[in-house]
Amino acid sequence: MNPPTDPEVRAELIATVRRFVERDVNPVASELEHADEYPAAIVATMRHLGLFGVTIADEHGGLGLDLLTYIGVIEELAAGWMSLSGILNTHVMVANLIADSGTDEQRARWLPTLATGDVRGALSLSEPDAGSDTGALTCRAERDGDEYVITGTKMWVTNGARAGLVALAARTDEGITCFLIDKEPGDRYGGITVSRNIGKLGYRGIETVEMVYDGHRVPAAAVLGGTAGLGRGRHFILAALEVGRINIAARAVGVARAAFEASIRYAQQRHTFGVPIAEHQAIQLKLADMATKLEAARLLTRHAAERRSAGERTDVEAGMAKLFASEAAFEIATDAMRIHGGMGYTTELPVERYYRDAPLMIIGEGTNEIQRLVIARGLLRRHPIDE
């Protein structure tokens, strides 16, 4: 875990990302999103800013910044275009997995190249018949001499086609094991085929794909954590998902902020019955509720990040932040559309994009139904009774 970042350094990077989003992202985001076009030029600048290595330790070539800085960056990116935060998220989770659970060789091999963004990371846990129920995975890795042979279908792999490294969960004799799959970006590599690019309501411009492994061979050294990591993959990945959930909460805050800011601006510009609509009490009540939910979502997200940075268990707090912020973002995006009236329903303003992007945060990194179960389990653990 990185040491706490100097608040001035944190504020400076977040301000830099905000300026970059205003200059390079806001003018083109809707057009790229409607065309479902990958934002190559924007990603190149993100690399230049060092964002792919934001949480990777400086000894491995990253910026070595803390989780609070990371969520600040994510909020700024998501306020411009939520998909950009998704381009970073699985990458950062893979880097965290290697930093926390990898061997020294795996850290030395992968972290420097992930830090520069030369290699991009994808995280592949879900399958067509195993999403919430991660214990139902069927993808199999059979030992064959010094290699493993991987066979199975993985679903919902965000960044899967452009990734050069996939952290993949597969079943071995010991249980579920995480493999670091070194692959060429593209639709085919060895025994791996990107079999489908899944069309989506929002979160466009970034690929989410189905991948088929048909006897793909990897060296035994690809097991995350080495021999000690056999059978521990689910544990490693579920621990990494705590940061993933805080990331999702920060993305929701970003989308909610953009929706709120668009609404409070529009409410003062748009006139009906001789006054700006901001003077109608019905609109004021919406603005007050939106801002309150946004602030509460941001505070829960920061609290979870601070707790995690302090090395404390954060399953409950990350779950609460993700649950509250994602539901708030969906409600705020809906209210933004209402405040914009007919214009909110058009493709001429980004409000419709916020409305389409917000629900992903309800589903991704564990649905909000599952989030409630995680929170309840954690609460019951923290409040035992003596009998």
Name which position in 177, 208, 247, 301 contacts ligand FAD (CB under 6 A).
208
CB-based contact 47:58 (threshold 8 Å): no
Could you tell me the CA-to-CA distances from 382 to 203, 235, 378, 385 in Å, in that order? 36, 20, 6, 10
Q: Which stretch binds ligand FAD (CB under 6 A): 108-116, 156-164, 176-184, 303-311?
A: 156-164
Q: According to the binding rule CB under 6 A, does residue 236 interact with ligand FAD? A: no
Q: According to the binding rule CB under 6 A, does residue 252 interact with ligand FAD? A: no
- Phi, psi for residue 56 in degrees, rounded to 5: -80, 135
Q: According to the binding rule CB under 6 A, does residue 95 interact with ligand FAD? A: no
Q: Which residue type sits at 21? A: V
* Distance of closest approach, residue 205 Cβ to ligand FAD, in angstroms: 12
DSSP codes joined into one string, 272-318: ETTEEGGGSHHHHHHHHHHHHHHHHHHHHHHHHHHHHHTT---HHHH
Q: According to the binding rule CB under 6 A, does residue 369 interact with ligand FAD? A: yes
* Distance of closest approach, residue 322 Cβ to ligand FAD, in angstroms: 12
Q: Which residue type sits at 188? A: R
* Distance of closest approach, residue 198 Cβ to ligand FAD, in angstroms: 7
Nearer to ligand FAD, 247 or 263 (CB): 247
Restricted to residues 322-341, the positions that interact with ligand FAD (CB under 6 A) are none
Q: Which residues are bridge partners to 216 per DSSP? A: 150
Range 181-190 contact pairs with CB under 8 angstroms and sequence separation of 24 or more = 181/150, 181/216, 181/218, 181/222, 182/218, 182/222, 185/120, 185/161, 186/161, 187/161, 190/216, 190/217
Q: Which stretch binds ligand FAD (CB under 6 A): 21-29, 272-280, 328-336, 367-375?
A: 367-375
Could you tell me the CA-to-CA distances from 149 to 3, 196, 215 in Å, in that order? 39, 22, 5
Name which position in 332, 337, 360, 375 contacts ligand FAD (CB under 6 A).
360
* Distance of closest approach, residue 83 Cβ to ligand FAD, in angstroms: 10
Range 350-356 contact pairs with CB under 8 angstroms and sequence separation of 24 or more = 350/29, 350/30, 350/258, 350/262, 351/259, 351/262, 351/263, 353/29, 353/30, 353/33, 353/81, 353/202, 354/255, 354/258, 354/259, 354/262, 354/329, 356/201, 356/202
Restricted to residues 31-90, the positions that interact with ligand FAD (CB under 6 A) are 90
Q: According to the binding rule CB under 6 A, does residue 259 interact with ligand FAD? A: no
- How many other C-beta atoms lie within 10 A of the C-beta of residue 364? 21
Q: According to the binding rule CB under 6 A, does residue 200 interact with ligand FAD? A: yes
Name which position in 156, 236, 330, 354 contacts ligand FAD (CB under 6 A).
156
Nearer to ligand FAD, 115 or 360 (CB): 360
Number of residues that bind ligand FAD (CB under 6 A): 21
* Distance of closest approach, residue 46 Cβ to ligand FAD, in angstroms: 18
Name which position in 21, 65, 92, 125 contacts ligand FAD (CB under 6 A).
125
Nearer to ligand FAD, 225 or 366 (CB): 366
Point out the residue whose Cβ comes nearest to ligand FAD.
131
Name which position in 64, 229, 364, 378 contacts ligand FAD (CB under 6 A).
364
Q: According to the binding rule CB under 6 A, does residue 124 interact with ligand FAD? A: yes
CB-based contact 236:224 (threshold 8 Å): yes
Query: Residues 131-150: x/- map of binding to ligand FAD (CB under 6 A)?
Result: xxx-----------------
Marked catalytic residue, from 327, 365, 369, 387? 365
365 among known catalytic residues: yes
Q: Which stretch binds ligand FAD (CB under 6 A): 211-219, 314-322, 332-340, 366-374?
A: 366-374
Dihedral (CA of 229, 235, 239, 244) sign: positive
Distance CA 163, CA 159 (A): 6
Q: Residues with catalytic annotation?
A: 365
* Chain residues in the site for ligand FAD (CB under 6 A): 90, 123-126, 131-133, 156-158, 200, 203, 208, 360, 363-364, 366-367, 369-370
